[in-house]
Amino acid sequence: MNLRKIFTLYTVGFLGVTILLGLAEHFFDLPNRWIGWIFMGLSLGIYIVIGILTRTSDADQYYVAGRGVPAIYNGMATGSDWMSAASFISMAGTLSVQGFSGLAYVMGWTGGYLLLAVFLGPYLRQFGAYTIPDFLGARYGGNAARLVGVFSAILCSFTYLIAQVTGVGLIVSRFIGLDFNVGVFVGLIGVLFCSVLGGMRSVTWTQVAQYIILITSYLVPVVVLSWQLFSNPVPQLAYGKVLQLNNQSALAITRDPQEKATREIWKAEAAAADAKIKDPATSAEEKVKLTAASKTATTQAKAPAASDDATIGNYLTVPKGKGMWNFLALTFCLMVGTAGLPHILARYYTTPSVREARTSVGWSLFFIFLLYFTAPAYAAFARFSVFTKLVGSKVADLPSWVTLWKPAGLFDVVDKAGDGIVQLADFVIKSSDFVVLATPEIAGLPFVVTGLIMAGGLAAALSTADGLLLTIANGISHDLYYKVINPQATLVRRLTITKVFLIVTALIAAYVATFRLAIIVELVAWAFSLAGASFFPALVMGIWWKRTNKAGALAGMVTGLAVTLFYMIGSRFYGMSWFGTATVASGVFGLPLGFIVIWIVSLLTPAPDKATQDLVVSVRYPKSGSASAAINAGH
C-alpha cells in the first residue's frame, strides 16, 4: 500500500471511531471516563505500533529518516513537531484574554517560516549534515562552534521539553482522573517507544499520524458551533459576525445594573484586601494570599467594554506607543526564533532533495496555518458561549460539568451577589486554557468532542516532545560523543548512547515536570529569543556570506546568547528595562548584535580557507558541488 492510501484509511478510521463513540454516548450513556480512556488508549496504541513497525538501526534512517520523506508528509510532521501543547491548548485562550496583542503569537509563529524557507531550509538540505551543531562544526571547522551549538540546542530544547511533559500530565489527569505524576509517565511511554526504536524515521511517521489527530480535533468543535449558529461550516469566515455579537454582549453586560452591582462588590473586596496588605500587623504569609485575592477581585471588577457607550470593545483595540513596540518586538523574536529552533530545522534534512525541502516548508506552513487561522475563531466562539450559555443562567441549574471542572482549576463560578443568577463577573477565569479545553462543554456539545480535544492535545504535546528529545539525544551522542570525544566509536555504540540519553533525558524532564514550576511557561516563550539570538545569525551568515569565519561565528553566537540572557534575567528579576521592552521579547537586542559581531569580528580576522569558501558557494546550487557528499563521507 502506498503512503497516501495508508494515511487516508487511518484518517477515515479515526473519524469512524469518533462517530461510533458519539453514538454510544448518545444511545447507551457511555460514561465520560470511558470515552477518555478509549481516546487515550487508542491514540497511544497507534503511536506505539508505528514505532515498532518503523524501527531501524541504520545511521541514515535513525538520524535523518533515510532522507526519504516526501515534502507533504514532512510538512505534516513539521506541523505537529512545531505545534506544541502551548499552540494547541493555550493559544486560543491567550487570544481571548489578550485580544489584539495576543496576535503577535499567531503572526510570529507563522511568519518565521518564510525566513526559514528563503534563508535556511533548502541550503541546509543541500549541505546535508545530520544535526544543526553538525552544520556549525563543518562550516566553522573544529569543535568550538559545534559545542556552542550543542549547548544552545540543549538550552532551548530542554525547557521546551519540560513544558510538553507538563502538558501531557495535565491532559491525562484532567480527562482520565489519573494522578498528574502517573499521567506524566504514561505519556512518556508513547514518546519513548518511537524515538528509541526508530529515531527520526519512527518519529517522522508518528508525527504525521499525530498531526492528523490534532488538526481534526481542533477543527471539529468550531466547525460544529459555526454550523449550529450560522449554518456555515467555515468558522474562519463566520466569526466576524461572532465578534460583532460579542461586542454587543460586552456592551450590554457593561451597562447591566445587576452586573454593575456584582462588580461593585468585587471592587469593595479588592479595596478591603489592599487596606489589609498595608496594615503592618498582617503577616507576610497573609500578605501573599491577600495580594492574590486583590488581583482576582480587581480583574472581576473590570467591565468587559471600556465604557458604556464605546462602539468597539477593548478586545480589538490596537496597542499604542510602548504596547506597539512590544507587539512588534515580540512578533520579530518569535519569527526569528521559529527559524532558529534546532528540532524544526533538522526536519528539513529528511527530504529527498533540495526541491522537496523548498516545497516542504510551504506544506509545513500550510498545515500550521490550518490551526492558527482557526485559533482566533475558536477564541471568539468561546467568548460567545460564555456570554450566551453561561451568563444569565440560574446558579441552581448549572450543568454538572461546572462542578466536574472545578478540581482542574481552570475556572470557578461564584454567586457573588447572591442573586442566584450567573453574572459575567461571577465567572472567575483562573487559566485561559479553559477556552480550548472547556468550550465544547460550555457550548453544550457531547462529551465525545471533549474526548477528541484531549486526544488532540495529547498528540500535540507528544509529537513536540518526540522531536525535542531526539534533538537533545542526538546532540549529545552524535555531536558531543562521536564528533568530539570518540571519533572511532562504532555505529552500534553511537546508537546505544543515543537510546540511553533519550531515556535519561525523558526521565529527567518528567522528574522536573512533577515539581509544577510556574516559571516553565515563561521559559518556553524565552526559548524563542534564545534560539533566535544564538543560532539564526550564525546559520544565516554561514550560508550567505563566505567570508564568515570561525572567530566571527563564535563571537556572534556567544554575544547573542549572553546579551539575550542578560536582558532576560535583568528585566525579569531585577527591574531592568531598555525602551520598556518585555522579557519575552529579549531577543530583539541580542539578535541584531549577533549579526553585527559576526560581521565585524570576521572582517578583523583572516578569511576562512578556500575549501570552506568553495563549499559555501557550492551550497547555492543544488547538486552542483560535492558539499553533501563531502560531509556525508565523514559518517
Partner 1 sequence: MSELTEQQKKDYWRYNLRLTVILLAIWFVVGYLLSGLWAGELNKVSFLGFPLGYYMAAQGSLAIFVIEIAIYARLMNKKDLEYGIYEEAKK
318: contact with partner 1 by CB under 8 A:
yes
The region of 31-39, 171-179, 358-366, 406-414 touching partner 1 under the rule CB under 8 A is 358-366
Q: Rg of the Cα trace of the chain?
A: 26
- How far apart are the C-alpha atoms of 508 and 544, rounded to whole Å? 38
358: contact with partner 1 by CB under 8 A:
yes
Q: With respect to partner 1, which residue has the nearer C-beta, 79 or 169? A: 79
328: contact with partner 1 by CB under 8 A:
yes
Binding track over 71-110 against partner 1, x by CB under 8 A: -----------------------------x--x--xx--x
CB of 283 to partner 1, least distance (A): 46
Q: Which residues in 363-487 belong to E strands, given as ranges?
A: 411-413, 427-429
Q: With respect to partner 1, which residue has the nearer C-beta, 53 or 234? A: 234
Residue among 371, 496, 515 at smallest CA distance from 62: 496
CB of 469 to partner 1, least distance (A): 27
Size of interface with partner 1, in residues (CB under 8 A)? 50
Q: With respect to partner 1, which residue has the nearer C-beta, 111 or 141? A: 111
CB of 120 to partner 1, least distance (A): 12
Q: With respect to partner 1, which residue has the nearer C-beta, 91 or 469? A: 91
Q: Residues 374 to 413: which contact partner 1 by CB under 8 A?
A: 376
Query: Residue 409: helix, strand or coil by DSSP?
Result: coil
141: contact with partner 1 by CB under 8 A:
no
Enumerate residues 6+ apart whose C-beta is below 8 A from 320: none
CB of 221 to partner 1, least distance (A): 18
354: contact with partner 1 by CB under 8 A:
yes
248: contact with partner 1 by CB under 8 A:
no
Q: With respect to partner 1, which residue has the nearer C-beta, 169 or 235? A: 235
Q: With respect to partner 1, which residue has the nearer C-beta, 373 or 515? A: 373
Residue among 452, 448, 451, 456 at smallest CA distance from 27: 448
CB atoms within 10 A of CB 288: 11
The region of 16-24, 350-358, 474-482, 567-575 touching partner 1 under the rule CB under 8 A is 350-358
- How far apart are the C-alpha atoms of 326 and 332, rounded to whole Å? 10
3: contact with partner 1 by CB under 8 A:
no
DSSP 482-550: IIII-TT--HHHHHHHHHHHHHHHHHHHHHHHTT--THHHHHHHHHHHHHHHHHHHHHHHHHH-TT--H
- How far apart are the C-alpha atoms of 520 and 473, rounded to whole Å? 21
Q: Return the residue of 227, 230, 369, 545 that touches partner 1, per CB under 8 A.
A: 369
Please report, as a single letter, which amino acid is at residue 627: A
Residue among 120, 591, 578 at smallest CA distance from 332: 591
Residue among 117, 545, 134 at smallest CA distance from 351: 117
Burial of 265 (0-12, 13-18, 19+ CB in 10 A): middle
The region of 178-186, 313-321, 508-516, 579-587 touching partner 1 under the rule CB under 8 A is 313-321
Q: Return the residue of 142, 177, 240, 409 that touches partner 1, per CB under 8 A.
A: 240
Q: Which residues in 126-206 belong to E strands, given as ranges?
A: none
- How far apart are the C-alpha atoms of 76 and 212, rounded to whole Å? 8
236: contact with partner 1 by CB under 8 A:
yes
In DSSP terms, which residues pair with 427 in a beta bridge?
A: 413
φ, ψ of residue 427 in degrees (nearest 5):
-90, 105
CB of 609 to partner 1, least distance (A): 21
Q: Which residue has the cell 451597562?
A: 255
Q: Return the residue of 65, 67, 152, 434 that touches partner 1, per CB under 8 A.
A: 67
- How far apart are the C-alpha atoms of 556 and 339, rounded to whole Å? 17
Q: Return the residue of 17, 48, 97, 114 that touches partner 1, per CB under 8 A.
A: 114
331: contact with partner 1 by CB under 8 A:
yes
Q: How many CA atoms lie within 13 A of 96 on its CB side?
A: 28
Q: Residues 595 to 634: which contact partner 1 by CB under 8 A?
A: 620-624
CB of 560 to partner 1, least distance (A): 21
373: contact with partner 1 by CB under 8 A:
yes
320: contact with partner 1 by CB under 8 A:
yes
Q: Return the residue of 316, 519, 603, 629 that touches partner 1, per CB under 8 A.
A: 316
Query: Residue 427: helix, strand or coil by DSSP?
Result: strand
First to last CA, the chain: 32
Burial of 111 (0-12, 13-18, 19+ CB in 10 A): middle
359: contact with partner 1 by CB under 8 A:
yes
The region of 371-379, 404-412, 513-521, 525-533 touching partner 1 under the rule CB under 8 A is 371-379
Q: Return the residue of 141, 323, 352, 592 that touches partner 1, per CB under 8 A.
A: 352
**CB-based burial, 14-31: b 16+ in 10 Å, e otherwise:** beeebeebbeebeeeebe
Q: Return the residue of 361, 438, 453, 502 that touches partner 1, per CB under 8 A.
A: 361
Enumerate residues 6+ apart whose C-beta is below 8 A from 423: 253, 258, 259, 262, 391, 416, 417
CB of 231 to partner 1, least distance (A): 16
CB of 371 to partner 1, least distance (A): 10
578: contact with partner 1 by CB under 8 A:
no
565: contact with partner 1 by CB under 8 A:
no
Q: Return the residue of 25, 134, 269, 356 that touches partner 1, per CB under 8 A.
A: 356
Binding track over 480-509 against partner 1, x by CB under 8 A: ------------------------------
Contact indicator for 164, 462 with CB cutoff of 8 Å: yes
Q: Return the residue of 6, 52, 234, 237 that touches partner 1, per CB under 8 A.
A: 237
Chain residues binding partner 1 by CB under 8 A are: 67-68, 100, 103, 106-107, 110-111, 113-114, 117-119, 122, 236-237, 240-241, 243-244, 312, 316, 318, 320, 324, 327-328, 331-332, 335, 352-356, 358-359, 361-362, 365-366, 369, 372-373, 376, 620-624
